[in-house]
A = this chain, B = another copy of it.
Amino acid sequence: MKTTTDYLALLKNLGLKATPKRLALLAVLEEEHRYLSPEEVWRKIRRRFKSLGLPTVYRNMEELERHGVISKVLHSNRQLYYYFCPKAGHHHHFVCMECRMVEDLPVCAVREMEKDIKRRIKGTVTSHVLQVNGFCGGCAGKQ
CB distance from A137 to the nearest CB of B (A): 4
Q: Are A136 and B123 closer than 8 Å at their CB atoms?
A: yes
Chain A interface category by residue count: 35 or more
Does A97 make an interface contact (CB < 8 A)?
yes
Does A74 make an interface contact (CB < 8 A)?
yes
- For this chain, the copies found in one complex come to 2
Does A139 make an interface contact (CB < 8 A)?
yes
Interface string of A107-135 (1 = CB under 8 A from B): 10110110011001111111111111111
Of B117, B124, B134, which one neighbours A124 at CB under 8 angstroms?
B134
Binding site for B on A (CB under 8 A): 74, 78, 80, 94, 96-97, 103, 105, 107, 109-110, 112-113, 116-117, 120-140
